[in-house]
Amino acid sequence: MIDELHAQLAQVDAFVADDVVPIANGRTLLPGAVNVLKELAELRSRIRQLAVNADAERRGKLEQYDEYCGLLQDVYVKAMQRKSANQP
């Protein structure tokens, strides 16, 4: 199950990069087909549910995944704020 979450985390990371990198480079962001914040919230929920009954080693890995999701969320929100501030 952790491998599956790792793959989902990699996918969400790619979604964030697809939206954030153009903004960071001063380009216009095209509307994406993915609701990134919703995907992050759902992934974090699954991670936290699994962590409840995980052994110490797995719980530690899941906590790292959750923290990384939090960082992705922070970066994404900041980029969207920057995008909004730069729109006419």
At 35-85, the pLDDT tens digits run: 999 999 999 999 999 999 999 999 999 999 999 999 999 999 999 888 777
- Residue 30: inside a domain, yes or no? no
32, 15 contact by CB (below 8 A) = yes
- Residue 15: inside a domain, yes or no? yes
- Structural domain that includes position 49: 2-21+36-83
Please report the pLDDT score of residue 87 as a whole number: 63
- Residue 45: inside a domain, yes or no? yes
- Residue 41: inside a domain, yes or no? yes
Distances (CA, A) of 7 to 10, 17, 50: 5, 15, 15
Structural domain count of the chain = 1
Give which of 65, 6, 79, 2 is closest to 36, Cα–Cα: 79
- State the average pLDDT over residues 28-33: 71
- Residue 27: inside a domain, yes or no? no
Please report the pLDDT score of residue 88 as a whole number: 56
> Is 90 exceeded by the pLDDT of residue 26?
no
- Residue 47: inside a domain, yes or no? yes
d(CA 38, CA 46): 12
Residue 33 DSSP label: S
- Residue 10: inside a domain, yes or no? yes
Global confidence as pTM: 0.88
- Residue 64: inside a domain, yes or no? yes
> Is 80 exceeded by the pLDDT of residue 2?
yes
Please report the pLDDT score of residue 75 as a whole number: 96
